[in-house]
C-alpha cells in the first residue's frame, strides 16, 4: 500500500480504522528503502523498533 496522505488525513484514517499504524509504518519504511540509497537522508533507521512501536499503537 502506498499512502499519499497529509498528516491530518493519516490521523483521521487511524481514528476511522481505515489505516493502521503498521500499514503506515511499513509504507514509510518501503519509501525510505526505495529512495534513501540516492538521498542518504537517514543516518539511523531501525525498522524493527519502528514496527514494534506501530504494533503497540494499534
| pTM score, whole prediction | 0.83
Q: CB–CB of 58/48 below 8 Å? A: no
* Residue 36 CB partners (closer than 8 Å, separation 6+): 42, 45
pLDDT tens readout for residues 24-33: 999 999 999 9
Residues of the chain with pLDDT under 70: 1-3
Residue ranges of alpha helices (H) inside 1-58 are 7-16, 21-39, 47-57
- Per-residue pLDDT at 2: 64
3-state class (DSSP) for residue 19: coil
Q: How crowded is residue 19: how many other Cβ atoms within 10 Å of its Cβ?
A: 19
- What is the domain partition of the chain in residue ranges? 7-57
Amino acid at each position: 500500500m502506498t499512502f499519499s496522505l497529509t498528516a491530518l488525513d493519516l490521523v483521521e484514517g487511524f481514528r476511522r480504522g481505515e489505516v493502521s499504524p503498521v500499514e503506515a509504518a511499513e509504507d514509510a519504511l518501503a519509501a525510505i528503502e526505495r529512495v534513501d540509497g540516492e538521498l542518504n537522508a537517514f543516518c539511523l533507521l531501525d525498522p524493527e523498533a519502528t514496527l514494534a512501536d506501530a504494533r503497540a499503537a494499534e
